[in-house]
Structure 1
Amino acid sequence: MHIVFVCREYPPTLRGGGIASYIHEMAINLIRRAHSVTVICASDDTRVFSDRKEDGIRVIRLSGGDFILPQIEKSSLIKKMRCLYRFFSYRKKILRQIEQLKDVDIIEVAEYGAEAYYLSKCHVPVVIRLHTPTLLDRSNFSIKKFNIRTFYDYWIGKRELSILSQFKYVTSCSASLKDWFLKYVPDMTGNIEVIYNPIEISKWKTEKIDYVENSILYVGTVMEGKGVGDLIEACRILRERNIPVTLKIVGKWGTYAMKLQGYVTDNHFDWCSFEGNLPREELQNLYSKAKISCFPSWWENMPLVCLEAMLAGNVVIGSRNGGMTEIVTDKKDGFLIEPHAPKELAECIYKALMMNKNSVTEMKKNALYKIQGKFSFEAVMQFMENYYVSVIKDYKNEKGPLG
């Protein structure tokens, strides 16, 4: 098969997140299984177009993206408005690029960012991959209300949901996310197939437990809905009890992250450090030193960082809301806590800190067993390949011999 992935970012990039990691790992493993893969994404420098082979994958980085990275291009008020005035032109560019490709069997594109806006015009099947829509309200697992301060999020979020009725083939990275779409997007015409995000076990698995006592790690976008503020408060509570925890925060920054760092600096919390957005390869060293990895999101879909931390032998603490309940079995291979609850989180962290290395090793063994059976590439890729094949067959049958 020739599979085309359309995505908002692809490594190496300053904009990389969970979707970028998922597509990168999928592309590499599909190439290993003798498929052909093309990735179409935006160049970090929106003035530059490139088309080259990377690890056997054809990666096309389009110019004209609808964003601005101040580290690369000098920012201005007009450039910040690209998200609006380049929305349609960039998505038309995606369609034109796909039309230039040869022998495409299937296209996969995330719902996030509405980059499938014109892709219903493609003459090949398009799979919409549900990751997390912009309008999902993490605070109460509902739909965000209109707010003039977040006008763009609402504007693009509405477009993400509106185009879903155009597509028949839809997958979701978790059952929890599927439930949200069934409730809030009733005009979806396609069935939603749950296929978990796979992980490369050999890349993250460690054989020994060699952590630094009282060390805590957070990996992910630094935003309020991820519960990062709750985590800092939980650590503050523990420090007041003379429990010398340390916290490292790794992930993409934004306005909220800068505000949070200001709070940490103003209060002289020298036990808390912000490491910035690091390549996934650099995370291995941080995972190896952390005893606990904590992901107290108000809601989460299917975070790869949670699986990485479990494979690295960390004691993982996650939220009871969303897809982490599909990853973690409480007290067996990790811990689950209620979101919005710093005091409960502090107690759970303390319980994890009291675990000895034998208990941590047992929890890691349970985690590895589960990941091998549900989330490894060996478990997921065959399922995904079979799904692609069935979609292509169904599409051809539906179109008939005349197309």
Structure 2
Amino acid sequence: MKILYVSTVYPPDNGWGGIGTYAYHIAQGMHRLGHDVYVLCGVVDEPYRQTIDGVTVARELVSDRSNLAEMREEIAAKVESMIRDEKIDLVEFGEYSADGIVFQERNPDFPTVVRLHANSKMCALAGVGLVQKTYMHMRGRMKGLLEIDRLERKSAESADLVTSPSHWLSDFCVGEGWKISPRVIANPILVPDDGYEPSLNEELKVVSVARLCTLKGVDQYAGIINRVCGVDDRVTFDLVGQDTGYGIGRKKRWSEWLKKRIKREYLDRVNIRGGVPHHEIEGLLRGCDIAYFNSVFENFPYSHLEAMVNGLYTVVGSNGGAQELGEDGCSVVRVVREPGAIAEGILGGLRDQEKCLEVGRAGCEYVREHYHAPNIAKSMMALYESIV
């Protein structure tokens, strides 16, 4: 089958955002099953179309999210052109920003899939306080957000097939009144084939890989760190992720906020790294032993999957689809999203190093067996074939 995935962001040129990361891994999975795979994505420097690791990458979209109407028109025209030139059988869009809506309206009979990731309204309002919501209303941003939500809903409802990475996200959208019946297929990840065998480091290290922002739970970090360091005087923390701003105008930095709330005697045991290049993440994770996550919600998060596949004892306090990862207590440790519970989850691994290693290895095996990209692609292809 000839499959086209549309994602304005696609690695590595313009980053490893969630939708682009999904597109990369599902494209690789489909390629390894022998299908002809194409990706339409955004230009960074100069447009090009070339085969990269077996996938035809058309980096040709020049419009961006500053003008969504223009971007949707360009996507529709490019997709129509690629269907004519490459004889594409099926196209998949994400629901976010309703990237596919113009194409769908112009081509109602062409087989179209919409993949749920997390819609614009969910992302914009998660972790936003009353003051910021009032500010958004005053600036007129809420009206625009509701219009995007309407178009995202229409795109999903117009698709021949809707898929979701988690039952939670599917249930959330249906609960919001979306007239869809999503098929749940977990996010795929291309598992390294280097024969890596997880082991513990001499000095146990805890890591979090997430942007410093309320959506990812930065406001809970100090409570977690202070509790853990107060019990274990050996442990160190690596906080990996882009620093962001908060407050009106977002002029204040979360890293500075955090430093003021971590107890002074523990600050030298906390390394706030900031963002790091994606190709360094694997080595960084393998230099740590325990990972924790505490997002307001996640659809089915790659950061958590990467921690598991690299053999870390992974404590998941994140809400949403993250709570569907692995087997609780065996390949992952799920806890409620509360600093004390997350700290206790971390301490469980620090106290029992044999269990720490056992859960880490089980998590690695679980990802290899259940989420490896070619395995997920097989399940996805069965759904694709039902609409072509």
Structure 2 length normalisation: TM-score? 0.84
Residue pairs, 1:177-326, within 5 angstroms: 177-188=169-180, 191-203=181-193, 206-211=196-201, 213-241=203-231, 243-256=233-246, 259-266=253-260, 269-319=267-317, 321-326=319-324
C-alpha spacing 1:2/1:252, structure 2 compared with 1 (3 Å): farther
Q: Secondary structure at the match of 1:124?
A: coil
Deviations along 1:192-245, whole A, 9 cap, x unmatched? 111111222335863140335341111234321221331333103333456343
Report the Cα distance in structure 2 between the residues aligned to 1:96 and 1:156, rounded to whole angstroms.
Answer: 20
Deviations along 1:243-288, whole A, 9 cap, x unmatched? 3433223334542496211224556634333434434331111111
Are 2:342 and 1:352 aligned?
no
C-alpha spacing 1:222/1:156, structure 2 compared with 1 (3 Å): farther
Report the Cα distance in structure 2 between the residues aligned to 1:135 and 1:215, rounded to whole angstroms.
Answer: 36
Are 2:73 and 1:92 aligned?
yes
Q: Is the 8 A contact 2:157 2:178 kept in 1?
A: no
Q: Secondary structure at the match of 1:391?
A: coil
Q: Secondary structure at the match of 1:90?
A: helix
Q: Residue 153 of structure 1: CA displacement?
A: 4.7
Q: Which residue of 2 aligns with 1:70?
A: none
C-alpha spacing 1:266/1:280, structure 2 compared with 1 (3 Å): same
Q: Which residue of 2 aligns with 1:380?
A: 376
Report the Cα distance in structure 2 between the residues aligned to 1:338 and 1:185, rounded to whole angstroms.
Answer: 27
Report the Cα distance in structure 2 between the residues aligned to 1:161 and 1:274, rounded to whole angstroms.
Answer: 39
Q: What letter matches 1:284 in structure 2?
A: E
Report the Cα distance in structure 2 between the residues aligned to 1:316 and 1:283, rounded to whole angstroms.
Answer: 15
Report the Cα distance in structure 1 between the residues aligned to 2:28 and 2:175, rounded to whole angstroms.
Answer: 34
Unaligned runs of 5+ in 1: 68-82, 393-403
C-alpha spacing 1:182/1:198, structure 2 compared with 1 (3 Å): same
C-alpha spacing 1:302/1:204, structure 2 compared with 1 (3 Å): farther
Q: What letter matches 1:263 in structure 2?
A: W
C-alpha spacing 1:55/1:305, structure 2 compared with 1 (3 Å): same
Q: Is the 8 A contact 2:91 2:111 kept in 1?
A: yes
Deviations along 1:295-336, whole A, 9 cap, x unmatched? 111222111222221121111011263222221333222211
C-alpha spacing 1:262/1:24, structure 2 compared with 1 (3 Å): same
Q: Residue 167 of structure 1: CA displacement?
A: 1.9
Structure of higher RCO (CA pairs closer than 8 Å, 6+ residues apart): 2
Q: Is the 8 A contact 2:325 2:332 kept in 1?
A: no
Q: Secondary structure at the match of 2:271?
A: strand
Q: Secondary structure at the match of 2:101?
A: coil
Count of matched residue pairs: 366
Report the Cα distance in structure 2 between the residues aligned to 1:369 and 1:255, rounded to whole angstroms.
Answer: 37
Report the Cα distance in structure 1 between the residues aligned to 2:10 and 2:243, rounded to whole angstroms.
Answer: 17
Q: Which residue of 1 aligns with 2:357?
A: 361
Report the Cα distance in structure 1 between the residues aligned to 2:323 and 2:113, rounded to whole angstroms.
Answer: 26
C-alpha spacing 1:27/1:229, structure 2 compared with 1 (3 Å): same
C-alpha spacing 1:15/1:320, structure 2 compared with 1 (3 Å): closer
Q: Residue 187 of structure 1: CA displacement?
A: 3.0
Q: Which residue of 2 aligns with 1:40?
A: 40
Structure 1 length normalisation: TM-score? 0.82
C-alpha spacing 1:289/1:316, structure 2 compared with 1 (3 Å): same
Report the Cα distance in structure 2 between the residues aligned to 1:239 and 1:248, rounded to whole angstroms.
Answer: 13
Q: Which residue of 1 aligns with 2:94?
A: 110
Report the Cα distance in structure 1 between the residues aligned to 2:306 and 2:194, rounded to whole angstroms.
Answer: 6
C-alpha spacing 1:93/1:331, structure 2 compared with 1 (3 Å): same
Report the Cα distance in structure 1 between the residues aligned to 2:343 and 2:20, rounded to whole angstroms.
Answer: 32
Q: Kindly, what percent of the aligned residue pairs are identical?
A: 25
Q: Which residue of 2 aligns with 1:343?
A: 340
| 259-268 or 99-108: bigger deviation | 259-268
Q: Residue 29 of structure 1: CA displacement?
A: 2.5
Q: Which residue of 1 aligns with 2:385?
A: 389
Are 2:16 and 1:16 aligned?
yes
Report the Cα distance in structure 2 between the residues aligned to 1:3 and 1:117, rounded to whole angstroms.
Answer: 18
Q: Is the 8 A contact 1:227 1:298 kept in 2?
A: yes
Q: Residue 171 of structure 1: CA displacement?
A: 0.4
| 100-109 or 120-129: bigger deviation | 120-129
Are 2:161 and 1:169 aligned?
yes
Q: Residue 344 of structure 1: CA displacement?
A: 2.1
Report the Cα distance in structure 2 between the residues aligned to 1:168 and 1:29, rounded to whole angstroms.
Answer: 22
Q: What letter matches 2:18 in structure 1?
A: G
Q: Secondary structure at the match of 1:216?
A: strand
User: What's the RMSD between the two structures over aligned residues?
Assistant: 2.7
Q: Secondary structure at the match of 2:273?
A: strand
C-alpha spacing 1:277/1:205, structure 2 compared with 1 (3 Å): farther
Q: Is the 8 A contact 2:61 2:75 kept in 1?
A: no
Report the Cα distance in structure 1 between the residues aligned to 2:198 and 2:16, rounded to whole angstroms.
Answer: 29
Q: Is the 8 A contact 1:204 1:312 kept in 2?
A: no
